[in-house]
Structure 1
């Protein structure tokens, strides 16, 4: 990282990942072009999980090459600093890893449960379990290994 004074700790990075409801996942297309889409992600230990349809462009790319890059953005606050400086205070994390489709039923259900709990502000009780059970056969869940995690921030002093 060129600006080592902005590098953040692993603890900072994991907290930001946990706080963000979405991350942008970058894939490589067949011809090497980038393909980036925002996804709802949840962290469980040293892995990230997301869900999607079982078929489509994203899953085709992942089956061909599981390498991904995920970007999370926390704060993004432009500011004018007197007497004549414009800057942006920001927080971001970049994760490099590999995605693999989750085939284990328990791991898949646990990931869906964790996603719902992260994104839903209240307890859904038994309706959550019914929704997971209903969606298991129609939904794909993917796991991303977090092989490299880089946190960066410019914080207000």
Structure 2
């Protein structure tokens, strides 16, 4: 990581994963083809990420058991809006220079995490406390918490229609750029 002052802890990275609406998984594509990348609705349980898919399609062929993958998560991203155009003009006129403007105006705040791991296909076992059902339950709790009264019905259907993948986290790198109330960039692991 080039900007070590923006590197955050693994625990921060796990929090980014939990807050992110989705992650983008990348894996090797077929020989001679570009890498395969797909946005996914992921959930984390401990040090394992889970996602689901239909039992047919590109994912089935491109994500076999043991395939190495990288998943990128962004929990927050946006332009901070620290200064008005008038304030920026005043800074230029006061001699602070263009580098001050580009570093404080033409910039983005973000929290991100990048995970590497290997695909593990979760065995379809019926029952309430199997890894398969617990993974699907966690996905549903994250994305449709107000519909959990119907989860058992969905689970009964999933046994025949849904594949569940796991990625055990091997490495996690996290990074953040954020400004404080004084319009100064927060540095490494500073709240």
TM-score by length of 2: 0.76
- Find the structure with the greater CA-based Rg: 2
Cα deviation for residue 23 of structure 1 reads: 0.5
Q: Distance in 2 between matches of 1:64 and 1:101?
A: 6
1:41 — aligned with what? 42
Which structure has the highest strand share of the two? 1
Q: CA deviation at 1:10?
A: 1.4
Task: Quote the Cα distance in structure 2 between the aligned partners of 1:64 and 1:43.
Answer: 19
Give yes or no for contact 1:21–1:118 (8 Å, CA) kept in 2: no
Moved over 6 A (4+): none
Q: Establish whether residue 116 from structure 1 lines up as the match of residue 136 from structure 2.
A: no
TM-aligned CA deviation for residue 104 of structure 1:
4.9
1:7-156 to 2 correspondence within 5 Å? 7-31=7-31, 33-63=34-64, 66-79=67-80, 82=88, 83=91, 84-85=101-102, 86-105=106-125, 106-122=130-146, 124-125=148-149, 127-156=150-179
Contact 2:124 2:159 in 1 (8 A): no
Give ranges in structure 1 of 5+ residues lacking alignment: none
How far did residue 136 of structure 1 move?
Answer: 1.4
State how far apart, in whole Å, the 2-side matches of 1:98 and 1:115 are. Answer: 19
- 2:186 corresponds in structure 1 to none
Number of equivalences: 156
Provide the alpha-carbon RMSD of the alignment: 1.6
Normalized per residue, which structure has more helix? 2
TM-score, normalization by structure 1: 0.92
